[in-house]
Structure 1
């Protein structure tokens, strides 16, 4: 009769698996049960730990374990139950030891046989240490609901700018934001940055239409003889862009346009640039006024403009043709710091004036140059600066480099586009154009 071997800890059982000892012989089942009782205790502990892990990992809303929980405890779904991979490895070692210690595999406890089958199934299954939780497809809207959604989006400027996550509550729909996004996208609607234009009322529309009709027959040489001026503001920080829901070809719809009032002349968050331009003589003065100038001379007032900026403007006028026309903006849109100086100087020189209609940046070719400068500054924001450069200094440098890089061929193309600009205003019946 062979004596029972004392209980061996789990850590040392792994040494028995590669080279198992001689299978002991038991006289009765009591000896066998006494020997395997510690293993049964381990099995019961593993089952309780597995149940606790399942209850702790499940979420209240979906009943599924989160990917973070799976990654932390290494669980895998098997026959509708969550199984800890570390417990499976431990059970595998126990079962192998019990198999070698037993006279007959059929005499093993039922728990051992059950977990042996579970281990075989996991080994044959496709390896998937982390559970991939696939999102459910978003519920679709009915045809009536889609029609209601599209009519709501086109109903007002406020609806055009409403975030997608607020639309279901506004329409009384019980659906997530993703359903609204997909429904709009299938019908050609997306969120685009709103185009910024001045407001056009009926009087302004008629004035724009009258100007375009009168000057659409002008030649390129006549447009080259016009002096254009304008100002531009560049913001130190990236400005906020309002988003509107529209189709790709609806950018010029009145309810998709943002009307921004004229910004103040002095600010610590933006820089002012005053540009002068002629088709005959090319680029003129490019004057900068920023926070540093505010600190040195105070705000940009009429007195400061006459003292610091007017000499450059006067010298530029001296270089122009005697028959040159000065493109003058409406009084309400003229900058308060330079409007009086422009008007007095033009009248003193008896210079012919080309009166531009209100709310018409598309009829001033400087607007396109300003857009190129803004695009260059925006594209350069991600590039590293010199260690001694401030953000304001770097933006001013990019703006001046872009202004200097404007070629004579590009200026000629702008002059040639004036006829097309006037025709676009006529085609739009005095409303917004693509320029």
Structure 2
């Protein structure tokens, strides 16, 4: 019963199971429930956060997958992937593990300080292909459609040339309003850039997300939050 219940509803708590069994005439403890589920290969984990997918998003992603299912590897090597991201000094990017004793979780040596609004951040635009990283640009002001087109104008083609992309290379960006604005689409058309049609709510399909992860965790690992230093450390974000 316990395994069947959590299989149907993974959000069922041990307290819920205790109450259900008690109403059925069986008295058990939460520890017994945990041990029973563990023997079945089930353990309590934090639920992953994923984009909210409506039926229309699911259908679009499925259509995208079917259309590109048989694409040769060479086609994907001819794509320039792009995106914007924010890197915070204090926040989700500042993570580290510590060895500590029981009840010592709040000792200053075992904590990561947090501040409101991340304590400062930078916005970046970047791109890359199978051949390597393209340009990485810091966005110093709030980005709008005009600024986005300016960034593409100054950095997209030079990145393609530096990467020695083959003729007919394809540009990818997501469905952010700045990217899908009529003026941006018209600019891309006039420049004769071929754009990869992209399903909405699909950040996990863009391999640049893995590159952002590396970019964020590397500076965070050098932060004084985890490693005391005698003077301010400097690091230049780079793809590696």
TM-score when normalising by structure 2: 0.65
Give yes or no for the alignment of 1:285 onto 2:155: no
Q: Give SS of 2:136's match.
A: strand
1:323 equivalent in structure 2: 168
Equivalent of residue 207 in structure 2, options 365, 368, 372: 365
Instruction: Tell whether the 8 Å contact from 1:168 to 1:175 is kept in structure 2 after alignment.
Output: no
Change (3 A) 1:220 1:192: same
Instruction: Tell whether the 8 Å contact from 1:226 to 1:278 is kept in structure 2 after alignment.
Output: yes
Change (3 A) 1:365 1:237: closer
Instruction: Tell whether the 8 Å contact from 1:287 to 1:309 is kept in structure 2 after alignment.
Output: no
2:47 equivalent in structure 1: 194
Unaligned runs of 5+ in 1: 1-146, 240-266, 406-435
Instruction: Tell whether the 8 Å contact from 1:326 to 1:346 is kept in structure 2 after alignment.
Output: no
- Separation in 2, partners of 1:385, 1:310: 41
Change (3 A) 1:151 1:237: same
Equivalent of residue 196 in structure 2, options 339, 349, 354: 354
Per-residue CA distance 1:286-340 (angstroms, 9 max, x = gap): 2345xxx4xxx4x3344554567863345435655541112243xxx32x44554
Aligned-pair distance for 1:283?
0.9
- Separation in 2, partners of 1:204, 1:308: 29
Greater relative contact order (Cα < 8 A, sep 6+): 2
Q: Give SS of 2:229's match.
A: coil
Instruction: Tell whether the 8 Å contact from 2:173 to 2:179 is kept in structure 1 after alignment.
Output: no
Equivalent of residue 91 in structure 2, options 231, 237, 257: 237
Greater radius of gyration (CA): 1
Q: Give SS of 1:218's match.
A: coil
- Separation in 2, partners of 1:187, 1:170: 21
- Separation in 2, partners of 1:268, 1:314: 35
Instruction: Tell whether the 8 Å contact from 1:325 to 1:354 is kept in structure 2 after alignment.
Output: yes
Change (3 A) 1:388 1:380: closer
Question: Number of paired residues?
Answer: 207
Equivalent of residue 208 in structure 1, options 57, 61, 65: 61
Aligned-pair distance for 1:217?
2.4
What RMSD in Å do the two structures reach over aligned CA positions?
3.6
Aligned residue runs from structure 1 range 151-300, under 5 A: 151-156=4-9, 158-159=11-12, 162=13, 164=14, 166-167=15-16, 171=20, 173=22, 175-235=28-88, 236-238=90-92, 268-269=117-118, 271-280=122-131, 282-289=132-139, 293=140, 297=141, 299-300=142-143
TM-score when normalising by structure 1: 0.40
Change (3 A) 1:376 1:154: farther
Unaligned runs of 5+ in 2: 94-115
Q: Give SS of 1:230's match.
A: strand
